[in-house]
Amino acid sequence: MIMQELTQTDIVERLDLLTEVSVALGDGHDDIDIFLDRILKVAKSMTNADGGTLYRPSADGRSLCFHIWLNDTLGIRQGGTSGSPIDLPPIPLVDDAGEKNLASVAAYAANFHRSVNIADVYRADVFNFSGMLTFDETFGYRSQSNLTVPMTDHEGELVGVLQLINARDRDVSFNTCEPACAASLVAAFACAWKRHCAACASGAPSRRTLQSRSWATR
């Protein structure tokens, strides 16, 4: 499969989206689901992906939990702000002996803080995609390209994993530049969310709260 290079127009569009989401994330949302919905939808738009999943680490840090799951072709909208729960088991990051899970691409990205770009999951022999292949057989879908990006903040702490499925409008994998674009997007989110959490911990009001108070006094 041939990987297409980004055109100048593609680059400009992605930079515009990065700027847009960076500004939006700085507006001080109080609901993490709004943050995460925005990050996944913009990532799908940037890469023209058909589907996407956003995972969050479990409280004990030993697994990845499905937080938002989208698929345009199948009409799937679960988790996040959708109000529809995701009934899927978490992905272990480590086994009972504490060894890192290297079979799952999402766990690998989380454990090593590395992005993984796979052209065709049916031809990949590095990771175990049996669950994805079973899903395809059940729903009559064809998973192909897969881009998985760890979400870490400026201190290197894992805050999630972003996974995009099937680059559309071309029978190729995700562009070689797209992991970097997605990484820039999740970095913008992670830093914005870290600032938000710090503000909440200190009791400082968010920008949205300050704006509300300003309007209330007018």
**CATH code, 96:** 3.30.450.40
Q: Is residue 137 part of a domain?
A: yes
Distance (Å, whole) CA 147 – CA 181: 11
Range of the structural domain that residue 187 is part of: 8-216
The pLDDT, as a whole number, for residue 148 is: 93
Q: What percent of the chain has pLDDT over 70?
A: 64
For residue 197, give the nearest of 159, 150, 142 by alpha carbon.
159
Q: What is the mean pLDDT of the chain?
A: 78
Q: How many domains does the chain have?
A: 1
Instruction: Name the least confident of 67-71, 103-107, 198-202.
Output: 198-202
Q: In angstroms, how far is CA 86 from the centroid of its own chain?
A: 16
DSSP 48-102: TEEEEEEEEE-TTSSEEEEEEEEETTTTEEEETTSS-----PPEESB-TT--B--
Spatial distance between the Cα atoms of 181 and 172, rounded to a whole number of angstroms? 17
- The reply to whether 16 falls in a domain is yes
CA distance 35 to 196: 11
Kindly state whether residue 62 falls inside one of the protein's structural domains.
Answer: yes
DSSP notation for 130-178: HHHHHHHHHHT-----EEEEEEE-TT--EEEEEEEEEE-SSSS---TTH
Does some domain include residue 74? yes
Q: pLDDT by residue (tens digit) across 32-83?
A: 788 788 888 888 888 889 999 999 999 999 999 999 999 999 999 999 999 9
Residue 12's pLDDT is 45
Any domain includes 77: yes
1 in a domain, yes or no? no
Q: How far, in Å, CA of 178 to CA of 17, rounded?
A: 13
The SS3 of residue 8 is: helix
Q: Is 53 left (phi over 0), alpha (psi -120 to 50) or beta?
A: beta
Q: What pLDDT band is residue 113 in, cutting at 50, 70 and 90?
A: very high
Tell me whether residue 2 is in a domain. Answer: no
Q: What value does the mean pLDDT take over residues 129-155?
A: 91
Assigned domain for 3 exists: no
Q: What local confidence, expressed as pLDDT, does residue 21 receive?
A: 56
| pTM assigned to the model | 0.78
More confident position, 121 or 32: 121
Distances (CA, A) of 33 to 29, 59, 97: 9, 17, 33
Pick the range with the lowest mean pLDDT from 115-129, 168-182, 193-207.
193-207
State whether the Cα torsion 186-188-194-200 is positive or negative.
negative
Q: How many CB atoms lie within 10 A of CB 126?
A: 11
